[in-house]
Chains A and B, each alone.
Chain A
């Protein structure tokens, strides 16, 4: 399969993902699609190879599907605190609580165990 076709497929996956993530938010949906289009025309990170750029878009599509949930404020004056309706859909990644409670899993996110810290950044 040529890179050209792979890129077009990635673009298709990206567009579909924006529909899932921003279903009822036309403004953001159109903005996301416009951004994706401009990314296709002029890649955001020109240093990457074409394959890496295509992979990046595929990853963005997966991220939009699984890891992005939009909230909409529910209009109800009776409530003391604002409430939000979350658009959790069938593709949303629902983490398993067991892994969060697992103490061994937590060690991995320990600051000391991290390969990089904010202070490691050069600029």
Chain B
């Protein structure tokens, strides 16, 4: 039974490859985009990250009213220490239902970097 499936798939494969190659460039870019981000736009992610930051209780009132952009840095601009940053990133993980790997999380210092990482994570929702 499995053999027959294998045969069919091997027969199918070359033609599938050909159609893939024949596809216009447009389709390829759409495909690439779908892999890049599951269902969230960069703007959506950015807005939700900013909402989490605003709700973060370690923020002093002056920071809560501050304009947050993708260039905003957790330590430099928001005045968060290293423990606060870990807490904030865990709060963001919970918002998007993901786990940021330690190596990545250690290097995230700004809102923009965080948004880019979430956009690249297909599990984010």
Bound together: yes
Instruction: Report the nearest B residue to A12, measured CB to CB.
Output: B86
Q: Which of B87, B89, B99 has the most CB of A within 10 A?
A: B87
**Interface size classification for chain A:** 10 to 19
Tell me which of A3-11, A82-90, A106-114 binds B: A3-11
Instruction: Report the nearest A residue to B99, measured CB to CB.
Output: A16
Q: Main secondary structure on chain A at its contact with chain B?
A: helix
A19 contacts B83, CB within 8 Å?
Answer: no
A9 contacts B99, CB within 8 Å?
Answer: no
Chain A nearest CB: distance from B41 CB in Å? Answer: 27
Chain B nearest CB: distance from A6 CB in Å? Answer: 9
B86 contacts A11, CB within 8 Å?
Answer: yes
CA distance A9 to B85 in the complex (A): 11
**A15 part of interface (Cβ distance < 8 Å):** yes
Identify B83's interface contact among A5, A9, A16, A37, CB under 8 A. A37
Instruction: Report the nearest B residue to A6, measured CB to CB.
Output: B102
**A40 part of interface (Cβ distance < 8 Å):** yes
| Residues of A contacting B64 in the complex (Cβ-Cβ under 8 angstroms) | none
Identify B90's interface contact among A15, A40, A41, CB under 8 A. A15
B83 contacts A11, CB within 8 Å?
Answer: yes
Query: Which residues of B in the span 82-125 have a Cβ within 8 Å of any Cβ on A?
Result: 82-83, 86-87, 89-90, 93-94, 99, 102, 105-106
| Residues of B contacting A16 in the complex (Cβ-Cβ under 8 angstroms) | 90, 93, 99
B89 contacts A12, CB within 8 Å?
Answer: yes
B82 contacts A8, CB within 8 Å?
Answer: yes
| Residues of B contacting A37 in the complex (Cβ-Cβ under 8 angstroms) | 83, 87
CA distance A83 to B83 in the complex (A): 39
| Residues of A contacting B105 in the complex (Cβ-Cβ under 8 angstroms) | 12
Sort A-B residue pairs by CB-CB distance and give the 10 closest, nearest first.
A15-B90, A9-B102, A12-B86, A11-B86, A8-B86, A5-B106, A40-B83, A8-B82, A12-B90, A16-B90
